[in-house]
Amino acid sequence: MAMLVTGGAGFIGSNFIRRVLSADPKAWIVDLDLLTYAGTEENLKDLPDGQRHSFVRGDIGDRALLADLLRRHRIDTIVHFAAETHVDRSLADPSPFFRTNVMGTLALLEAARGYWIREKPFPLEAVRFHHISTDEVFGSLSPEDPPFSETSPYAPSSPYAASKAAADHLVRAYFRSYGLPVTITHCSNNYGPRQFPEKLVALTIANALRGEPIPVYGDGGQIRDWLYVEDHCEAVRAVLARGKPGAIYLIGGGNQLTNLSLVEKVCGLMDELLPKSVHRPHAKLISPFADRPGHDRRYALDGSKIQRELGWSSRETLDSGLRKTVKWYRANPAWMRAVLGNPGHREWIAAHYGRRGNR
Ligand code: NAD
Ligand code: TYD
C-alpha cells in the first residue's frame, strides 16, 4: 500500500499514521500537510517505524504538487483528512474553509482521476480514495429524533459544515460520473491525544491544567456523541480493507451526553488524576459563555451499518478514553507548550473568547 495521507500533521491524521505504521507493515505513507495553525510536526515525532513515512509540506490545492506526488510515489490509496475544522473559526471567516475543504478536495479528486483513471497505472480495484467527513453535514437533531443514518438528508448549519457537505457531494459525484473508487465516513466528535486545544475536550484539559476558565457555550445542554480517536482510526482502516467502492459509513462512539456533563466528567477525572493540583476542584473553573450562533443542539449516529458490514465497533468507553486523554496531556507538557505558544492559536483565543465575553 502506497498511501497519501492529507492533513497528517493534524489531530486525527497523525493518530491514523501512527496506527497504520504499527499495524500495517507493508504500508508506505506520504503525508501532505500545509502546517496551518492546526498542524504541527510535534505530532509526527517518534513515529513507529518512521522510515516508512515521508512528510511533504504543501497545499492540497496545489495541483502540480499532487500530480507529482501521486506519480512519483505510485500512490494507490488516498486518505483525505486535511481540512479547516473549527466551527467557530468558520463563523468568523468562512473563506479558508471553502478554499481548502471544497477547492482543495476538488484538486485532490482531479489528481486522483488524472492518475488512476486517465493513466491507469493499476487496476481500479486496487485503488481507493477515502474521504473523511463529519456528522455535522446532517445538521441538528431534536431530543426525540432518531439518530442520523447513511441516508439522512444534508442540512449543514455552519460554514464549516456547509464546506464539508460540498466536499462530500464532489466525492460522491466523482464516484458516479467517473467511477473513481471512493468511500466516505462521517464520524462524530473525536477526542484523544494530540487534539489542538481549541476543541472542547482538549481546551477543557488545557485550561484546567493551567487554572483558566473553561468556557461552556449557552446552557451547555447540546449533545454530542464522543468517539475516541484510536477507535476512529481503526474504523477507517476497516473501511479501507473491507469497504466497497461508493460505500458510506457512519462512525460514532456510542457516548452521547451534554457538553456540560462532559466537561464536568473531565474535571472530575482531573481531580482524581491530579490529586495535588492547586486548581482542584477543577469544576469551579467552568464558566458560562455566550452561545455559538446557529449552534446545533444534538448529533447522534446510528452505527449499525459499519458494525454489521465491517465488524467494527468502538472499544473505548468514555471513561477509559478520557482517562487516556487526560494522562497523555499531563505527560506531554512540551507538546502543550509548543501548541499553546503558536501565534495562530494565541490570537484566536484572545479574539474569540475576549470578544464574546462571559454571558
Ligand atoms: P485538525 O484541524 O486537527 O487538522 C487538520 C490538518 O489539515 C492540519 O494538520 C492542517 O495543517 C492541515 N491542512 C489544513 N489545510 C490544508 C491544506 N490546504 N493543505 C494541506 N493540509 C492542510 O483536524 P482533525 O480534527 O484532525 O480533523 C481531520 C478530518 O476529520 C477533517 O476533515 C475533519 O473535517 C474531520 N472530522 C473531525 C472531527 C473531530 O472531532 N476532530 C469530527 C468529524 C470529522
Ligand atoms: P467543538 O469541540 O468545537 O466541536 P464541534 O463544534 O465540531 O462539535 O465543540 C463541541 C461542542 O462544545 C459544541 O457543542 C460547542 C461546545 N463548545 C463549548 O461549549 N465551549 C467551547 O469553548 C468550545 C470550543 C465548544
Q: How far is the CA of 278 from the centre of ligand 1 (A)?
A: 34
- As a whole number, the mean pLDDT across the chain is 97
Cα–Cα distance for residue pair 47/80, rounded to 1 Å: 20
Q: Does residue 5 contact residue 70 with C-beta atoms inside 8 Å? A: no
Q: pLDDT tens digits for 12-54?
A: 999 999 999 999 999 999 999 999 999 999 999 999 999 999 9
* pLDDT value of position 195: 98
Nearest bound ligand to CA 10? 1
The predicted pLDDT at position 358 comes to 59
The pLDDT of residue 357: 61
Taken as a whole, the chain contains a residue count of 359
Q: What is the mean pLDDT of residues 140-148?
A: 96
- Using pLDDT thresholds of 50, 70 and 90, give the confidence band for residue 359: low
pLDDT at 83 > cutoff 60: yes
Could you tell me the CA-to-CA distances from 44 to 15, 74, 275, 285 in Å, in that order?
Answer: 9, 23, 31, 32
Atom 34 of ligand 1, residue of closest alpha carbon: 85
- Confidence grade of residue 220 (pLDDT, cut at 50, 70, 90): very high
Predicted confidence at residue 178, as pLDDT, reads: 98
Point out the ligand 2 atom lying closest to the alpha carbon of residue 202. Answer: 2
pLDDT of residue 273: 98
Q: How far apart are CA 24 and CA 147, in angstroms?
A: 33
**Mean pLDDT for the stretch of residues 283-303:** 97
Atom of ligand 1 nearest to the CA of 9: 9
CA 235, chain centre distance (Å): 13
Top mutation candidate among 11, 102, 299, 348 for ligand 1, by most atoms within 8 Å of CB:
11
* Ligand 2: lining residues by beta carbon, under 6 Å: 87, 189, 199-200, 203, 215-217, 222, 224, 259, 292
Residues with CB under 6 A from ligand 1: 6-7, 9-13, 32-36, 38-39, 59-61, 81-85, 100, 104, 132, 134, 164, 187, 189-190, 196
The minimum-distance atom of ligand 1 relative to the CA of 160 is: 34
Listed in sequence order, the residues at least 6 apart from 251 whose beta carbon sits closer than 8 Å to its beta carbon are 185, 186, 187, 188, 227, 231, 232, 235, 236, 301, 303, 306, 312
* Best residue for ligand 2 mutational test, from 135, 217, 291, 299 (most atoms within 8 Å of Cβ): 217
CA distance 145 to 237: 30
Amino acid (one-letter) located at 70: L
Closest ligand (CA of 135): 1
Side-chain-side CA neighbours of 95 within 13 Å: the count stands at: 0
pLDDT band for position 163 (50/70/90)?
very high
d(CA 254, CA 287) in angstroms, rounded, equals 27
CA of 339 to the centre of ligand 2 (A): 19
- Ligand 2 atom 22, closest CA: 215
Q: From the CA of 290, which ligand is nearest?
A: 2
